[in-house]
């Protein structure tokens, strides 16, 4: 029961979405991490470091401040917490962050190539998925690089020689963006192998992004 667990809703979301991220093939082992800003706007629930996703319960999801100081949880917060908190500090429109090691997106990250708009679902992330220059994993410098690369224009970017990061209103929304990034990366990889991908014009991607904002049931 999590009724009496501080920020139980957000901690439950992180525990459940970690298993979903693994099930969708967006990472392997204990790789990747997730976070969600809590309702108080000051505390962040973040996945614990090095724990198999199937073993993560709401009670063992750590809580940190927006400055990255751990304030609850017996397990250490993810080593990538500085990247999560850097993005959350810079983006008032973001409440969830997901970092994956998905294979096709990581392939483009390894060659330092952005994923262009060869499929319309790229609009979940922006007019493309840009690349944040390599910085040491878990470093403050990586968080700064990611925040700089995404700015307010993109909802995902590739981490050179590393993986992907995606953002959204919640961690669930961020996971959806990460899933779309991986799908677009796979389609673009396949398209490159059979021909010359046709890239959608910027104005069409802008129109798509506007459409996606009101897509679905509310």
- Pairwise CA distance, residues 6 & 206, whole Å: 40
Q: What is residue 216's predicted lDDT score, i.e. its pLDDT?
A: 56
Q: What is residue 212's predicted lDDT score, i.e. its pLDDT?
A: 87
80 is known as an active-site residue? yes
- Pairwise CA distance, residues 129 & 109, whole Å: 10
Both tokens of residue 84? 């999560």
Instruction: Walk across the sheet containing 131-132 and list its strands.
Output: 70-72, 63-65, 43-46, 33-37, 96-100, 163-168, 156-159, 131-132
pLDDT at 217 over 50: no
Of 67, 99, 75, 100, the residue nearest 11 (C-alpha): 75
pLDDT at 23 over 60: yes
- Pairwise CA distance, residues 81 & 16, whole Å: 18
CATH T-level assignment (fold) for domain 8-213: L-fuculose-1-phosphate Aldolase (3.40.225)
Q: Given 10, 80, 135, 182, which residue is catalytic?
A: 80
Both tokens of residue 39? 């309702």
Q: Where are the domains of the chain?
A: 8-213
* pLDDT (mean) for 38-49: 97
94-124: per-residue pLDDT in tens? 999 999 999 999 999 999 999 999 999 999 9
148-170: per-residue pLDDT in tens? 999 999 999 999 999 999 999 99
């Amino acid at each position: 029961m999590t009724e009496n667990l501080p920020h139980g809703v957000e901690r439950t979301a992180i525990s459940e979405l970690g298993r979903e991220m693994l099930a969708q093939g967006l990472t392997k082992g204990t790789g990747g991490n997730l976070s969600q800003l809590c309702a108080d706007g000051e505390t962040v629930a973040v996945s614990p470091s090095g724990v198999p996703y199937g073993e993560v319960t709401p009670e063992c999801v750590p809580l940190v401040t927006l400055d990255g100081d751990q304030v609850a949880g017996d397990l250490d917060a993810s080593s990538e917490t500085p990247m999560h908190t850097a993005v959350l500090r810079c983006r008032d429109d973001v409440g969830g962050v997901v970092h994956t090691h998905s294979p096709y997106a990581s392939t483009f990250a390894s060659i330092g190539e952005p994923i262009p708009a060869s499929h319309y679902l790229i609009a979940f992330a922006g007019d493309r998925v840009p690349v944040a220059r390599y910085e040491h994993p878990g470093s403050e410098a990586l968080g700064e690089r990611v925040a700089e690369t995404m700015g307010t224009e993109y909802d995902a970017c590739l981490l050179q020689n590393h993986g992907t990061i995606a953002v959204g209103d919640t961690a669930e929304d961020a996971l959806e963006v990460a899933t779309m990034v991986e799908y677009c990366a796979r389609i673009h990889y396949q398209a490159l192998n059979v021909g010359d991908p046709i890239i959608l014009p910027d104005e069409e991607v802008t129109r798509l992004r506007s459409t996606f904002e009101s897509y679905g049931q509310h």
